[in-house]
Structure 1
Amino acid sequence: MTTLSTALDVAGASQRLAATSRVRLPGLLQDGVGALYDAVTDPGMLWMRAIHNPWNAEVPVALFEAEPLDEQARLIALAHEEATDGFQFIFDRLKLGQARAMGLTIPQPLYDLHAWFNSEAFLSFARALTGDERIAYVDAQATRYLPGHFLNRHTDEHVDAGRLYAYVLNLTPDWRAEWGGLLMFLEAGEVVETFLPGAGTLNVFRVPQSHAVSMVAPFAGVPRHSITGWWRTTPPPGGQG
């Protein structure tokens, strides 16, 4: 059963969040990080390749990688061209609420985590950390950043989405800064703070806030895995977040 660590300094973290609009909480879980990491690295895990496009469409990674190599390279080159001066991303994900609604068979710890995030115990923790009683729902997606994957600067602001705070629960053990995949916060185009994706660490930040994930290096020893999403006023349409 997933539980919060009894060693968390919620009061101190709340003060830091109020002062800077972002905070790291190492060792969020009493246990269960290993089970979650095993779940997202399970060979049978279903991943969707996410590349920003006007249709908000994703394709199963297996289908993307079944395309001829020159077609894959063409699509990636187009994404890189758009990323030069605009918003773009390439990474793999699976939206857990959507997966449940579709009846997909994925490792049970991921469904259990989504349910726990929306338990009164966790929602009470989120409200205590932020001081925001409006938090009523937590959506979640498993994410995987392979070498070459990235997420350009953006603010997470979305009209009528009810997003109050964004979060990242990092899962990959022993991540090295030089591998990239760093959560960077920007002000006036400058990086003002960077969070290393340490295993079991929860990053929380207020929306809107400019941030990006740096490209994962080709020499990264393992993929960067995490659970990400938003603390919201209401569920997304259809509850499929």
Structure 2
Amino acid sequence: MSDLRLADGLEVEEAAERLARTGRTRLSGLIGEGAAAIHAAVLDPDMVWMRAIENPYNEDVPVALFEAEPPAEQARLIAMAHEEAVDGFQFIFDRLRLGRARAMGLPIPQALYDLHDLFNSEPFLAFARRLTGDDRIAYADAQPTRYLPGHFLNRHTDEHEDAGRLYAYVLNVSPEWRAEWGGLLMFLNEEGAVTETFTPSFGTLNVFRVPQSHCVSMVAPFAGAPRYSITGWWRSAPPPEPRRKAE
């Protein structure tokens, strides 16, 4: 069991005021030294990554299978995604949905399951309600995400009918990220202009109210490392449980 917990001395009131005023906020040092443990977990060779590209089935493909395809086929799939991204919603990045991973019994680094447990503990949910002033928060899902050079997430609002999404969050776990590497969380107005940008800062939690227009800019080919984070939503209820692995 990893020693993951909320850090002491968090500036919750200041962050809560900003969230109430603007619909988004940042809070540094959320889990203290635990951020280093999560960074180590996403680098672990046992980590399982799935390649996420927008598709009608909302299904991801194991990165190992995607990269086993001939280079020409990989390029064709990426080119199709780029074409769809010109005027529509599209994304390319890697992730692992922890609820599904647990149901499938995937032997990933335990620290990630421990983080999911922490996020759904009563002390953490109480923290989330205090930060947002929203007593409806009852569940937090979570997915480690990895943005490699060329990965991006187009403009969208996170609104999803019947999903119970109240607030989106991003826990950044990339040390020493530089703004010029891309991977920036950008908030947009109705005209599509950028109104505010959050640069990934190690151990910092970003939270914003749903729905809200935002995107993640493409990671540059010269980025010095992948962009890692834990992302998800604070929901009014858990999503339907995935089918569990047969015993």
- What range describes the TM-score normalised by the shorter chain of this pair? over 0.9
1:145 corresponds, among 131, 144, 147, to 147
Task: Letter of the 2:114 partner, please give it.
Answer: D
In structure 1, the partner of 2:203 is 200
- Measured after TM superposition, the shift of residue 28 of structure 1 is 1.0
Query: Is the 1:48–1:94 Cα contact (8 Å) retained in structure 2?
Result: yes
Percent of paired sites with the same residue:
73
Q: Report the alpha carbon displacement of residue 238 of structure 1 after superposing the two structures with TM.
A: 0.8
Residue 163 of structure 2: aligned partner: 161
Measured after TM superposition, the shift of residue 239 of structure 1 is: 6.0
2:238 is aligned to 235
* One-letter identity of the residue aligned with 2:92: I
Give unmatched runs, 5+ long, in structure 2: none
Partner secondary structure for residue 14 of structure 1: helix
Q: 1:225 aligns to what? A: 228
Q: Is the 8 A contact 2:91 2:151 kept in 1?
A: yes
Alignment of 1:27-176 (within 5 A): 27-176=29-178
Q: In structure 2, the residue corresponding to 1:80 is in which secondary structure?
A: helix
* Contact in 2 for aligned 1:50/1:93 (Cα 8 Å): yes
- Distance in 2 (alpha carbons) for counterparts of 1:124 and 1:86: 37
4+ residue segments displaced more than 6 Å:
none
- Write out per-residue CA displacement over residues 133-187 of structure 1, whole angstroms, 9 at most, x where no aligned residue: 0000000001000000000000000000000000000000000000000000000
Secondary structure in 2 matching 1:237: coil
The match for 1:9 is: 11
Query: 1:57: how far off?
Result: 1.7
Mapped to 2, the partners of 1:209 and 1:106 lie a distance apart of 32
Any idea what the Cα deviations from partners look like across 1:49-87, whole Å, max 9, x if unmatched? Answer: 000011112110000000000000000000000000110
**CA deviation profile, 1:89-142 (whole Å, cap 9, x unmatched):** 000000001100110000000000000000000000000000000000000001
Work out the CA distance in 2 between the residues paired with 1:55 and 1:161: 16
Q: CA RMSD in A?
A: 0.9
**TM, length-normalised to structure 2:** 0.96
Tell me how far 1:8 sits from its aligned partner: 1.2
User: How far did 1:43 drift?
Assistant: 1.9
Segments of structure 1 that go 5 or more residues without pairing to the other structure are: none
The alignment covers a number of residue pairs equal to 240
